Amino acid sequence: MKRRNLQFPFHYAEAVRLDPNLPKLTRGSVWNWGVRATTRAQLPKIAQPVRLKPNYLEARLNFGIALTKRKRMAEAREQFEEVLRRSPTNAVAKKYIMLLEGK
């Protein structure tokens, strides 16, 4: 039986299976992608986990943060609002929506 690394979400393993050229993750890498993303070329890599697993809220938050850094505020807001729709008490999404509203 193949042992699966339980530190990483299954959907990323599936993404790597579908595209072996994806960068390898270390613990916390998905979060860091959103925080560090500053180039337009990085956005598709950050968006891929959201497309593969729409319920993965951390990936959706990261994508929203990356969009915010690229000044794509309307798209970022959509990501944060979707997080809140799925998890109404999510403090990170609430924080970013407040920042986008200038509060």
Q: What is the DSSP letter of 2?
A: P
Cβ of 18: how many Cβ atoms within 10 Å?
Answer: 10
Residue spans of the chain under pLDDT 70: 1-39, 103
Q: Is residue 80 part of a domain?
A: yes
How many domains, in total, are found in the chain? 1
- Give the CATH number of the domain where residue 36 resides: 1.25.40.10
The secondary structure of residue 40, as a DSSP letter, is G
Task: Write out the residue range of the structural domain in which residue 36 sits.
Answer: 10-100
What is the DSSP-derived secondary structure letter of residue 89? Answer: T
Tell me, yes or no, whether 65 lies in a domain: yes
* pLDDT tens per residue, range 18-31: 666 655 554 455 54
Q: What is the pLDDT of residue 41?
A: 75
Can you give the three-state secondary structure of the chain, one letter per residue?
A: CCCCCCCCCHHHHHHHHHCCCCCCCCCCHHHHHHHHCCCHHHHHHHHHHHHHCCCCHHHHHHHHHHHHHCCCHHHHHHHHHHHHHHCCCCHHHHHHHHHHCCC
- Residue for token pair 């299976």: 17
For residue 3, tell me if it sits in a domain. Answer: no
**What's the pLDDT score for residue 21?**
66
For position 25, what pLDDT does the model report?
A: 53
Residue 2 maps to a domain: no
Residue 4 lies in a domain: no
Residues 59-74: tens digit of each pLDDT: 999 899 889 988 999 9
pLDDT score at 16: 63
